[in-house]
Amino acid sequence: METKDIKAFGTEAAEAPLKTLDIKRRAVQAHDVEIEILYCGICHSDLHSARNEWHGTMYPIVPGHEIVGRVTKVGDHVKNFKVGQLAGVGCMVDSCRECDHCKNDLEQYCDEGSILTFNSPDKHLGGHTFGGYSQSIVVDENYVLHISDKLDLAGVAPLLCAGITTYSPLKHWKVGPGQKVGIVGIGGLGHMGIKLAKAMGAHVVVFTTSLSKFEAAKELGADEVVLSTDPEQMAKHSKSLNFILDCVSAEHNIDSYLNLLKVDGTLTLVGAPMEPLPVTSFSLLLGRRSFAGSAIGGIAETQEMLDFCAEHNITADIELIGVNEVNDAYERLLKGDIKYRFVIDMASLK
């Protein structure tokens, strides 16, 4: 298959810093869309993958799955995109398309495993896929999203991961007016959860371990903010919440939040702690409560989320950086020194 060389930013080893690399992209096929990448968000999973912390990283790796850009070329059979349009690519670039999940717009749960935007087998060129820290990308149109020109494009980029990761469970568990919804943690995921739950009409209660984040939570749209280390503040919300979105990726006490749920309430985990989280059986049994998890959404739901955000003027709170700042951004990410997502201006990749 015909290919072309483009510049990217990645690494060839777990212990090595990211640097400029040359990678190959396939020539545009009949159903493909070629996108010049304008902005790419940095997700915590980029860091984990680049440093092989989840194991299984294939090198060289080019991270990035929060991609916003402009269409530069389309295949002969492409129907939904035209040259010059804005477009986005999230966490997936393909799936089996044949299993029940794929046929029901749940490609993220593909029985064969969806093809991720980076570090997945590349069925076109062999080897593995390269992500959005690059000048351009070629993706089947069925896995490309339409991006509104009404919003700040850099702020849209994290919606392709953080946005859909929080929107999907809020939508699935039917969050809306008349509900009291808890958001645990105010970070890359949590700040999006607050904005989305509020836009859906819920009464939003934010739980944080830090007094310094109270004002920030209110600015994001929280109706109430609770210091989760204060037993008295927590007790005031006992058995009062319809739904809790848990965005924390560190070890924490799940029971303390389950006990805040009403009968039939659900706590859904979207954070990814590395260690198991113990749960006391009676925290579930006595209120017929559920402890669930959720990944990203499918392509159709991701488009729905993007349209919802355009309608409600929702973007991520970001810090825009150049590619030469990515390694420093990774270190700051480890320290939580960001409100709330880094986004790379890909024009800086020369």
pLDDT digit of tens for each residue in the chain (350 aa)?
Answer: 899 999 999 999 999 999 999 999 999 999 999 999 999 999 999 999 999 999 999 999 999 999 999 999 999 999 999 999 999 999 999 999 999 999 999 999 999 999 999 999 999 999 999 999 999 999 999 999 999 999 999 999 999 999 999 999 999 999 999 999 999 999 999 999 999 999 999 999 999 999 999 999 999 999 999 999 999 999 999 999 999 999 999 999 999 999 999 999 999 999 999 899 999 999 999 999 999 999 999 999 999 999 999 999 999 999 999 999 999 999 999 999 999 999 999 999 98
Domain boundary among 278, 293, 308: 293
DSSP string, 180-223: EEEEE--STTHHHHHHHHHHTT-EEEEEES-GGGHHHHHHHT-S
Same domain, 137 and 180: no
State the alpha helices, DSSP H only, in the chain. 44-50, 100-103, 153-156, 162-172, 190-199, 214-220, 231-235, 254-258, 281-285, 299-312, 326-335
Same domain, 45 and 155: yes
Same domain, 28 and 151: yes
CATH number at residue 185: 3.40.50.720
Q: What global pTM score does this model have?
A: 0.96
Tell whether 191 is covered by a domain: yes
Cβ contacts of 291 within 8 Å, gap of 6 or more: 254, 258, 266, 267, 269, 279, 284
Same domain, 167 and 88: no
Alpha carbons 102 and 24: distance in angstroms, whole number: 28
Same domain, 60 and 155: yes
pLDDT of residue 274: 85
Tell whether 50 is covered by a domain: yes
Q: Please report where in the chains the tokens 């490609």 appear, as a residue.
A: 107
Tell whether 197 is covered by a domain: yes
Same domain, 157 and 8: yes
Same domain, 146 and 208: no
Tell whether 62 is covered by a domain: yes
Same domain, 327 and 286: no
Tell whether 321 is covered by a domain: yes
Same domain, 191 and 176: yes
Domain boundary among 293, 308, 338: 293
Q: Is 288 left (phi over 0), alpha (psi -120 to 50) or beta?
A: left
Q: Which two tokens stand for residue 328?
A: 């420093």
Tell whether 12 is covered by a domain: yes
Residue 204 near residue 221 (C-beta atoms within 8 A): yes
Tell whether 9 is covered by a domain: yes
Same domain, 16 and 136: yes
Residue 72 near residue 36 (C-beta atoms within 8 A): yes
Please state the domain count of the chain.
2
CATH number at residue 119: 3.90.180.10
Q: Give the type of residue at 54.
A: W
Q: Which two tokens stand for residue 146?
A: 């339409």
Same domain, 53 and 32: yes
pLDDT of residue 137: 98
Tell whether 27 is covered by a domain: yes
| Counts for the chain of helices (H) and strands (E), in that order | 11, 17
Alpha-carbon torsion 127, 115, 90, 65, what sign? negative
Give the domain range for residue 101: 3-161+316-348
Same domain, 37 and 131: yes
Alpha-carbon torsion 139, 142, 148, 154, what sign? negative
pLDDT of residue 350: 80
Alpha carbons 199 and 46: distance in angstroms, whole number: 28
